[in-house]
Structure 1
């Protein structure tokens, strides 16, 4: 699993980068929808197409909170536990939104 946080002063650039990735992956029409991220409408996740000969799933997620762009990529043996990955992304976004709560 790989989670990348990029802090960029220009919040519109952050928003545009996340939207571009999400719209691009969606427009390809080959990815399966990933988990929804509760409380974060801008967060989107996509799973690689289901193929009978593939043994691995890959998930790509993109979201933003303020001036922080969050990208998550993970691979796992099928079937991937997408709920747990979605919760991890949600918790990361929660920490960015309210950094004082993390200990």
Structure 2
């Protein structure tokens, strides 16, 4: 990867953070659990932002809305989990279509000089972004562990691999993130646990994986001790579901 591509991909990673903490930025700052809406315990589903994939084909709304296309790729909340708090304006169970996803990423070029802005927007176009799906989950026992899963779909599979590779290289270069658990059956997935901080009551983890035209990112946040095994298993289920969306695993 040349310097120009590295610069553009780095900007793209920063732009992805706009979509919400589920994109991976939370591994640094942690999801603001103390400010998370605990009302999810009694209001397990909130109406998400309008999208063209929305459907009422899932009768158990606490597991997530049903639908087709990219929405079908999202894992329904399995036993032990319910839909989590909203991710800002995006809700807790949302799909952004091609136009919305591309516009969101391109909007991050504000502040760049004219040449960089043009190159960055061309790079986004070359990726062929098709959409973004996100869903948040909360453990149904005490609701203090929040997990977010985001799926980005693109036409250019090479660009997905490059983004994942560079993000991991950046995390490794920090030298402070701890290795997270392995994901059974998915050696291409990798997890990073937030730096150890004895003064903080919170902990966090970010995992990512790529499969064909999809990039999958999971973040888990909550008070110590964080149940890393439960979050890793949720990612395993998501990756299995991605390949066989008709099967609830």
Q: Deviations over 1:45-72 (max 9, x none)?
A: 1111111101100111111111110011
Q: Which has the higher contact order (CA 8 A, sep 6+)?
A: 1
Contact 1:64 1:70 (C-alpha < 8 Å) held by counterparts: yes
Q: Please state whether the residue corresponding to 1:12 is helix, strand or coil.
A: helix
Aligned residues, how many?
103
What pairs with 1:12-91 in structure 2 (closer than 5 Å)? 12-91=158-237
* Length-normalised TM-score, structure 1: 0.91
Structure with the higher fraction of residues in helix conformation: 2
Residue 2 (1) aligns with residue 148 (2): yes
Contact 1:21 1:62 (C-alpha < 8 Å) held by counterparts: no
Query: Aligned equivalents of 1:36 and 1:20: distance in 2?
Result: 19
Q: Please state whether the residue corresponding to 2:165 is helix, strand or coil.
A: helix
Q: Deviations over 1:18-54 (max 9, x none)?
A: 1221221122110111111112122111111111101
* Length-normalised TM-score, structure 2: 0.40
Query: Aligned equivalents of 1:23 and 1:36: distance in 2?
Result: 18
Structure with the higher fraction of residues in strand conformation: 1
Offset of residue 100 of structure 1: 3.3
Q: Please state whether the residue corresponding to 2:199 is helix, strand or coil.
A: coil
User: What runs of 5+ residues in structure 1 fail to find an aligned partner?
Assistant: none
Query: Aligned equivalents of 2:194 and 2:216: distance in 1?
Result: 19
Q: Which has the larger radius of gyration?
A: 2
